Amino acid sequence: MIDYVKGRVVHIETEYVVLDVRDIGYRVFTPNPYALAGSDEPVTVYTHHHVREDATLLFGFGTREEQKLFRKLLDVSGIGPRVALGVLAGAKPESVIAAIQQENVAFLTKLPGIGRKTAQRMILDLKDKMDAIAGSLVAAAGLEYETAAVSGGEGAGTAWPEAREALAALGYTAAELDRAWQGLGRKAEPDETVDALMKRALQQLFKG
């Protein structure tokens, strides 16, 4: 079992990176390969070593928490490595965890490869297993764990994910949107609509 690899990123594709580890190139499939770009220093990627009859694959993540969540997702019937990777590419781990804990099927079905039945299985199989990973995320980030971002109502519940999606369609990058969310205190008002939250986020973006 390969638990992690550490090396320089020497090549990037849309689905994977190649890490040079002591003159051996490891192809590692990761949710966001381009997040590892821009540094000549060695990076540590936490991996899941997946073996099947016709291939041996490495799936890699920037944190232990992502690695743990990926492996939990593999325990759900109907979710294989590619779908699990798509889930982590489609949303932050804390958002996925919160959606599972709050039984938010609507949020989960927006993730790549996740239909309604699979979302329901995720909730049934994982709801009681997410606390440990959520706690690790809090400790790693040093931030209060916010579950409001994916709860069920129109206000604080779905406003930011929908507002973020709309702003991304306008051309804003994930990094810019993360900064805007931080500028808003990582909170939507209880009765805030998507349009209202977009306006506040745009104000943050215009501030630079």
The pLDDT tens digits of the residues spanning 127-179 come to: 888 887 876 665 554 444 444 444 433 334 457 777 887 777 777 787 788 88
Between 126 and 187, the more confident residue is 126
Predicted confidence band at 1 (pLDDT cuts at 50, 70, 90)? confident
The single residue listed with the structure tokens 């501030």 is 207
Q: What pLDDT score does 34 carry?
A: 87
Q: What pLDDT score does 136 carry?
A: 65
Q: Give 45's Cβ-side CA count (13 Å radius).
A: 31
Q: What pLDDT score does 138 carry?
A: 52
- Average pLDDT estimate for 10-19: 94
Give the 3-state secondary structure of residue 84: helix
Distances in whole angstroms, Cα of residue 29 to Cα of each of 82, 83, 149, 192, 198: 9, 12, 28, 38, 33
pLDDT tens digits, residue range 50-67? 988 888 999 999 999 999
